[in-house]
Structure 1
């Protein structure tokens, strides 16, 4: 049941007077930022990423196994993207757990619900004030991660062109806009995790599981993304925007999966927050020993989210027309050929050879997976491709072999396998110093929703 707490009105006021949402919001925000762990998190988010990116910029070895990690010595705009990949996997789920997962449970541990209800006189206003205060702190933490990592990269390396995931170069201004947009897009899944944290904090009370719920949900989504799930199921998970932002760094931008991921994340945020609000209003505050809402409330909070996932899959499957993994032979060949042509031009400029255009190269790729007995589709590290191209005035056709490792989300890493003078390892002189051959190893992206033929 819902308990309404009342108290004698102070002198000069009426019994119906209530604390406004604005005053409650300021009070809850002060309570949050007065906690040592929140202050430590804010400090870490605004300082640590910049120091990390600056430190990597001074090293000879790079985190090439991360997206854009191999470009951290070439441009300062690669640093915030490396940090974005790390944040979506680990930092943001943990931050939402600490902030949103504890915003209601802390009152259970301290036994202060009665005092708060007497002061505010409205459970609805308490919920809104706490939710807004938690949201403010989370946005502040995300802004710190983005700004600090960008500042560290720009101060250490400088604002230089960034090579996209299809091999084309982005100007510094274009790269800055896309980096900012990528960080803005991941706010949607972050809000979804924060709403799940609010729900867990209300339902589970002082139980540690309520605090860990956003991190556990994020880990489950990461494991699901590693499985060979159908595209519609993959897009229906609220954390898909954590990886779909890489579509911003192709030309044209692969906006379909990103927009769906952002939309799904926002829907989850609204639904989970609404469930948390309704369950909070049903809570019985008359008993000091009351802690959480019990097993029935867990069911009331869990089943609607599972139903939401099923409805999302049912809507996206026919709407997108996506079937299977979304990774087909034709898509891999087209993506690889396009990126090879862009990077070949970059290599030509760095080696001071006669300029050539993508249209003149007419690059094509022929790929198979494992052997002729295995269907050339789906993720795997057994893709083998042969790229062919033509140079103006040369009759012979150039060829280069690549080994591809394609992941379930469409990202691939191409490793040059000869001839050495084309895609082998050697250093080339660039305006920013010696760098590895751009055709040796590079990251690419296959758009899962792109039509098979085009």
Structure 2
């Protein structure tokens, strides 16, 4: 085998482009890849169209409560699901198996004779798997958007701070959100390449991206310091939420994208170095558990520590990032925007946010604990003023704030403002936008979009 490789090295090597086409054909010829492509290009449209026609909506998912109102809510619901489950599994199936399949089939000898360059083999396989993953992501985005717009219509979308986005603006933000999640998807794909190279035909190589993504999702649910949270590439699957506020919360999003790209480059480089050092003369190569730990796991753990230190030094944020002032500002802003929507529903005279002068006073645990950090024991009293009315209006909300900054505000009265899920309009009963609404607390100090 060694003599064969040495002789082949002196012959003309196949180009990367030729190897890429060969690897791409091998991938798309697999029945499971074809099935995934069909599923990603068809299933989201059917799902969004079906759910949008149901009386019960996925209100526990961001933008799920607006799927009756606009077709642009559907692709964001699918995006939330994809970041949690679909994309980690897709990267596992594609990138996590691209090298391991050669080990299972015992075809490394034939491939080396044909290509005559381990470097070009790695490049061709990495590019082919990246192409398939991009095809799957584009399918998810296009299919869900088409299903939503066809089933519900091209209508304005309510943002996470209550402001109304025009259909064109909503379409642009939805597209940008899907583009942003490409960065953490690339990070998971690179981890898949690393697992496939380091663990050989072991099933753990195939499962590695999904397991890493699951571990990071569990970490995001914990009350971690902001610097550690942003140092995980999984945060970029959440940070796109900041695009749907005004001004946009770009700080966490940009940090998440940069961290994800650093992870993608690092994991790919580690996979490349391991691949070049591999002994192809051993047909029973199964990877080494010790080598996987020392050459793959430990560098990535060190990368978390380094990125956390860099983020902590570059940003003034501390603790969980969820503070009383931020919660009060987020609730008051969202209430003011949504109050205007309710005013238009009821055909009342329009009033601006500046005229409302909405403020919120929030405490946690009934004032018995520090007003900071996540929890479902936040309570806010919102006050506002109407022109030519001396008495201030008040409304009560119970808040459930998660560790990543998302909150759900549940109206607790008065009934005519936020105490009932419907409002009676001249056209009939309509959903009350002030009854329950989603919002986000920016974990970093306020940024301008």
- Compute the TM-score of the two structures, normalised by the length of structure 1: 0.96
2:337 is matched with which residue? 342
SS of the aligned residue for 2:338 comes to helix
Q: 1:91 aligns with which of 86, 90, 97?
A: 86
Could you say which residue in structure 1 is the equivalent of 2:165? 170
| Corresponding residue SS for 1:239 | helix
Take 1:242 and 1:37, find their aligned partners in 2: how far apart are those partners?
25
Task: Go from structure 1 to structure 2 and tell me whether the alpha carbon gap of 1:3 and 1:185 turns closer, same or farther (over 3 Å shift).
Answer: farther
- Structure 1 residue 238, shift from structure 2 partner: 1.1
Q: Provide the secondary structure at the position in 1 that maps to 2:5.
A: coil
Distance 1:247 1:17, change over 3 A: same
Q: 1:369 aligns with which of 364, 369, 389?
A: 364
Cα contact 2:103–2:200 (8 A) shared by 1: yes
RMSD: 1.7
Query: Are 2:5 and 1:6 equivalent residues in the alignment?
Result: yes
Unaligned runs of 5+ in 1: none
Match of 2:390 among 379, 386, 395: 395
Equivalent position to 1:35, from 21, 24, 30: 30
Query: Which residue of structure 1 lines up, in the alignment, with residue 108 of structure 2?
Result: 113
Out of 12, 18, 21, the residue aligned to residue 13 of structure 2 is 18
Separation of aligned partners in 2, 1:429 and 1:163:
20
The equivalent of 1:304 in structure 2 is 299
Instruction: Tell me what 1:101 maps to.
Output: 96
Partners of 1:122 and 1:433 lie apart in 2 by: 70
Residue number in structure 2 paired with 1:124: 119
Distance apart, 1:5 and its partner CA? 4.5
Instruction: Give the aligned partner of residue 60 of structure 2.
Output: 65
Render the CA deviation track for 1:271-308: whole Å, top value 9, x for unaligned.
Answer: 00000000000000012112224522431111111111
1:419 aligns with 2:414: yes
Match 1:191 to one of 186, 191, 196 = 186
In structure 2, relative to structure 1, the CA distance for the partners of 1:434 and 1:140 (3 Å cut) is farther
When residues 142 and 429 of structure 1 are mapped into structure 2, their CA distance, relative to the original with a 3 A threshold, is farther
Q: How does 1:208-219 map to 2 (within 5 A)?
A: 208-219=203-214
Q: 1:432 to 1:228 in 2, by over 3 A?
A: farther
Q: What is the CA deviation profile of residues 177-207 of structure 1, one whole-angstrom value per residue up to 9, with x for unaligned ones? A: 0000000000000000000000000111111
The structural deviation recorded for 1:398 is 0.4
**Contact persistence 1:279–1:297 (CA under 8 A):** no
Could you say if the C-alpha distance between residues 81 and 266 of structure 1 is closer, same or farther in structure 2, counting changes exceeding 3 Å? same
1:73-104 Cα offsets, whole Å, 9 max, x none, are 00000000000000000000000000000000
Corresponding residue number in structure 1 for 2:278: 283
Gaps of 5+ in 2: none
Cα contact 2:399–2:409 (8 A) shared by 1: yes
How many residues align? The count is 447
Give the SS at the match of 1:276. helix
**2-structure distance, mates of 1:429, 1:383:** 29
CA distance, structure 1, for counterparts of residue 283 and residue 86 of structure 2? 35
Deviations 1:242-286, CA, capped at 9 Å, x for gaps: 000000000000000000000000000000000000000000001
Aligned to 1:138: 133
